[in-house]
Amino acid sequence: MRLLLIALVACGGSAKPEPRHEAPPEHHAHHGEMPHRFEHAEQWAKVFDDPKRDAWQQPDRVIAALELQPTMTVADVGAGTGYFAVRIAPLVKEVIATDVEQDMVRFMKERARRDGIANLRAVATPPDDPQLSGVDRVLVVDVWHHLGDRKAYAKKLAAALNEGGFVAVVDFKLDATMGPPKQHRLPPEAIVDDLRAAGLDAKVALELTEQYVVIGRLRAGL
């Protein structure tokens, strides 16, 4: 996995499009509900940052749904190579891009230095703990189906939110033409249930070509 959207950590790997072609080497079992490994960041970057991804990932629509403000701190959980993180950084105060893969974190740090993105902070996190606090938005892209105890992870994300904050989970539709094997896909209702169990007001907020976006908002007074 990548905790890797969103873009936002993730619990077991990197935010990825789950391509259905030959993967880079050392693609083997890992933690989480769906085993996967995302080492060798430079090779994965050819997939994660392929310009063709924009057509189905629709990053502009996802980012618009985040309702970002310049004063915000955003966590991209399972950020992978930084596909979403580098797009969000110019719009906010800080982006915390997390991943469980050390090589992805190394890649994002180098990418931020190379591109002069001073407000992007890449952090390695364990697969069962996002290690976040004081964030206004959490983006989790293509990662939720990799999590082990999804409800426990959702509670940790909810606890990290500032007042008025929310978690946005992007994952593949059951009938998507790409993504993880069908037996590992989650209906949006399952993610809604996970976020509600964490005390968030959750619903499907957006339908993309291949995916859906579930948003769980922090309830007033929590």
Inside any domain, residue 100 = yes
> 221 or 190, which is more confident?
190
pLDDT (average), residues 3-23: 37
How many domains are contained in the chain?
Answer: 1
Average pLDDT of every residue of the chain? 84
In a domain, 201, yes or no: yes
In a domain, 129, yes or no: yes
What's the pTM value of the predicted model, to 2 decimals? 0.81
7 has a pLDDT exceeding 70: no
| CA 210/CA 192 separation, integer angstroms | 18
Burial 190-208 (b: 16+ CB within 10 A, else e): ebbbbbebbebebeebbeb
Look up the CATH number of the domain holding residue 87.
Answer: 3.40.50.150
> 145 in a domain, yes or no?
yes
* Residue 20 placed within a domain: no
Write out the residue range of the structural domain in which residue 110 sits: 41-218
pLDDT of 97 higher than 90 = yes
The answer to whether residue 202 is domain-embedded is yes
